[in-house]
Structure 1
Amino acid sequence: MHSTTSTRTARTTRSVRLTTATIAGTLVLALAACSSDSATGGTGDASGSGSSTTVDVVVHDSFGITDETKAAFEEQSGLTLNIITTGDGGALANKLVLTKDSPLGDVAFGIDTSFASRAIDAGVFEPYTSPELPESAADLAVDDSGTLTPVDYGDVCLNIDTGWFAEAGIDAPVTLEDLADPEYQDLTVVTNPATSTPGLSFLFATIGHFGTDGYLDYWKSLTDNGLKVVEGWEDAYYTDFSANGEGDRPIVLSYASSPAFTLSDDGASSTTAALLDTCFRQVEYAGVLANGDNPEGAQAFVDFLLGDQFQADIPETMYVYPVSPDVTVPADWESFAPVPTDPIALDPAEISANRDAWIKDWTAQVVG
């Protein structure tokens, strides 16, 4: 595995998204991501500029844009780009809803699958369909309203330490059901859905696969088989996961792209692999904020997010896949981070209506 600080920080930035945020009156615990001003182009004034020569972009802390790409937008549009960070994805959604009548900016990026329907239902965004949206991204839309524009996507999946299984002489698991097999007792570590974005996505994966009538029984089978649950992705991946030489659990919850960051010294292979039958897809969206001061600038920024320059940066700045089919991802991704062909999915509206209840029921079942 690459052990440089930059690689570790990059994975942490992408993967730990939630902080404590009140969502629809319910306290949802979450973890904060790290990001630097150099990656985001600086943090703007949260009150917004209110100028037609400036476009105020409200984002989560893991948003990444290079200085070169920021400058390209400003040169092409004639607008000054003002980035306003709000915390993790849950905090972003909450703040956008609470300030919908007097929005923090003109456009927002980073609303994901977990919170998209809630923001739409609350009237946070006004419809805008970008002419730059590729036809292939249509299946990533939240609904038919055109209110939110898909910009990138990633898949939360279980990962395995391939060397551990080879040395132990045990066939690696493939499916969610396999994790409950006694052969894999005490081998799996996941993150708490109340405190971790990957954990929440994995909860959704189990609901999508086993249904609302069966997912809690599945979680009971996991806990009976020695499942370990920790608060955040970094704890699971860097402390408990055996591939890092410190932990004793060779099955961990992470991302489909993670194996591209655990290459052998010669770069010819990866020391880990994602179980592509266990993945849940997260899509991130951008939208024009209703009642913003500069709707034209907001539309221009949404268009820019779908353009080749920004889309090509996404794998290296935010560690997920761009929606554009014309962008070439890094070679390591082609080889070691393939896109799951049939990820588990849930209707965003169903997530919005049941998310808090599911977390509460999971907590009662697993944590007690």
Structure 2
Amino acid sequence: SRAVDNGVFAPYQAKGLDRVPAEYRLDGEKHRVTPVDTGDICVNYDKSYFADKKLDPPRTFEDLADPKYKNLLVTENVATSSPGLGFLLGTAAEFGDKGWQDYWKKLKANGVKVVEGWEQAYNEEFSGSAGGKKAGGDRPLVVSYASSPPVEVLYADPQPDEAPTGVLTDTCFRQIEFAGLLDGAKNPEGGKKLLDFLIGKTFQEDLPLQMFVRPVADDAKLPELFTEFGAEADRARSLEPEKIAENREAWVKSWTSLVVQ
């Protein structure tokens, strides 16, 4: 929304945009940006940890603040990390303008750990990832993506029959990624062809196992690995871009004072 509000993009209606559902075309008929993919930011959990402890994994946002999950969650700083910000937006969508701050006070009291970015959270602190196991990570709950389990399966040697991590699908926030033609670009025709390509079937079907996001084109097929081991959040939270733009800076400042300082 910041780029759109500041006139960064020139309007262009990409060829094949009619194959993209209206729910992803947030810029309506202005066509300043083109939706390319979607991904759900969700809490992931380490299956073996909860099995060993004979403890049911949490399911909801509220569960994460339950004392039986104290000191188990690691998340990213909302001021420096996209998934961290997405998780904050998910709590704002879930608890409203007034309730999200009280919720984060509960999370802090319950021992949530905050690190600067996703790499550190997932590959160092999270006990369920291959990197986290090597690094001695001890947090079995991490803010990541609904598509993280297929990554663990794809890069494991040998590949397991079951993903070692799971997704709390009631904690998800839907993130839509866009591309746009820069206003004043030196090669606008090349830029337009690139946008056409990005929502073309070839690129859309290549997205899941290259970038671990979901295609937006309704005729793009998902690979079996993605459908078998990934998670789909039927109740993923969302917020209007205008509401995010209006409140983002204030929310980040409030979150920082509540959780970090």
TM-score greater than 0.5 by the shorter chain:
yes
| Counterpart-to-counterpart distance in 2, 1:135 and 1:342 | 23
Q: Is 2:182 aligned against 1:296?
A: no
Contact 2:181 2:192 in 1 (8 A): yes
Secondary structure of 1:273's counterpart equals: strand
Aligned counterparts, 1:197-276, within 5 A: 197-243=82-128, 244-245=132-133, 246-263=136-153, 265-276=158-169
Q: Compared with structure 1, are the counterparts of its residues 134 and 268 closer, same or farther at alpha carbon in structure 2 (3 Å cutoff)?
A: farther
1:113-156 deviation per Cα after TM superposition (whole angstroms, max 9, x unaligned): xxxx2222212222222231144432012232222110111111
Q: Which protein has greater RCO, CA pairs closer than 8 Å, 6+ apart? A: 2
Contact 2:209 2:226 in 1 (8 A): no
Contact 2:19 2:219 in 1 (8 A): no
| Counterpart-to-counterpart distance in 1, 2:193 and 2:175 | 24
User: What is the percent sequence identity of the aligned residues?
Assistant: 48
1:253-306 deviation per Cα after TM superposition (whole angstroms, max 9, x unaligned): 111000112237443101100111111111111222223333333222211111
Aligned counterpart for 1:139 among listed residues 1, 17, 23: 23
| Counterpart-to-counterpart distance in 2, 1:295 and 1:262 | 39
Q: Is 2:35 aligned against 1:150?
A: yes
1:60-93 deviation per Cα after TM superposition (whole angstroms, max 9, x unaligned): xxxxxxxxxxxxxxxxxxxxxxxxxxxxxxxxxx
Deviation at 1:160, TM superposition (A): 0.3
What stretches of structure 2 of length at least 5 have no aligned partner? none
Deviation at 1:311, TM superposition (A): 1.4
Paired positions, count: 252
| Counterpart-to-counterpart distance in 1, 2:18 and 2:69 | 42
Secondary structure of 1:154's counterpart equals: strand
Q: Tell me which residue corresponds to 1:124.
A: 8
Greater alpha carbon shift after TM alignment, 203-212 vs 284-293:
284-293
Aligned counterpart for 1:333 among listed residues 210, 221, 226: 226
Q: Which has the higher helix share?
A: 2
Q: Give TM-score scaled by structure 1 length.
A: 0.65
Q: CA RMSD in A?
A: 1.6
Q: Tell me which residue corresponds to 1:71.
A: none
Greater alpha carbon shift after TM alignment, 141-150 vs 273-282:
141-150
What stretches of structure 1 of length at least 5 have no aligned partner? 1-116
Q: Tell me which residue corresponds to 1:33.
A: none
Contact 1:137 1:150 in 2 (8 A): no
Q: Give TM-score scaled by structure 2 length.
A: 0.91
Q: Which amino acid aligns with 1:123?
A: G
* Higher Rg of the two aligned structures: 1
| Counterpart-to-counterpart distance in 2, 1:308 and 1:175 | 35
Contact 2:81 2:117 in 1 (8 A): yes
